Chains A and B, each alone.
Chain A
Amino acid sequence: MVKYCDIFWSFFKVGTFTVGGGYAMLPLMQRELVERHRWLTEEEFLDQVALSQAMPGVFAVNMAAMTGQRLRGAIGSAVAIVGNILMPILFILLLAIFFCTFRDNVYVDRIFMGLRPAVVALIAAPVFALWKNEKRKVKSETDNASHVLRLTSYLSLYLIPILSALLIWLFGVNPILVVLAAALLGLIYGKLKTKN
């Protein structure tokens, strides 16, 4: 039986030594879970990645919860989650205390005047890469499809991202409503597609 401390230590390393969010953790997770400990096969790992993406919430935490549960049930899951987020939370708390204390410091202020536009650029940059990824999928899937299906696929490829961005940005619609509407739309579209 897998030891709790092994689960903890694996996810502790993954959480502590990766910067840049959940997807940046994937290579290290794969090394720990698949290659080093052989807790999961390559295929099981990829299934978990797909599943964590399909679930709401924080991707890395979902991965930790799933792996922990598979290895040692509910407690294993809790151990994996705590291991994954312990150091990040401590780091952020230290920084938050630091910045709330030194907010009016002129040097900190100057640094952040340089950082702010950079951060927005970092958020904007993956938008196009993500969209291209979706475009590639639509292209390969609709190569032999009917005209109607191809038309609706391409329409949704352009309309849905633009519409959801405009609704939130210009009309102040709550993003939660946009997510709900998108899920509903996907459900209706899927039903219509399977019927035909």
Chain B
Amino acid sequence: MTKHHIQTTLNGDEIDVLVEPAQSLLDVLRDELHMTGTKEGCATGDCGACSVTIDGNLVCSCLVLGVEVGGRNIETIEGMANGDQLHPLQDKFIEHVALQCGICTPGLLIAAKHLLEENPDPTEEEVRYGLAGNLCRCTGYQKVVEAVLDAAQVMQK
């Protein structure tokens, strides 16, 4: 199988990687680049655990081919904190106990960050609909919603 040489930007770093045409971006991230923070829950776009942004657009990385992302700007959970400064959403997720097993957490954080970038002061309902693409089986969502609403307040200051 012919591999494609992809040059792209991942969390601010310019990287090179060889990818098979059928490989999803998720598989490229996890298997080729060893960025295992992005999780696979279904590989069919139904759970959101693999959420990343490409040029600021929120997507499921399982539904993107690696060959499509040349020259793009990809952000994953590994790039969310600024050095040793956690993003306010990361802080609030911990503070509100918005994570239990944690497998959905990276995807939820990426989706929540994207949500607050588009809507800095969402209502509870907007947060719930904004995160409806991310399944969480542990929390029942309440503490996640509370954490996002609280982070929105902090980030607006």
Bound pair: A and B?
A: no
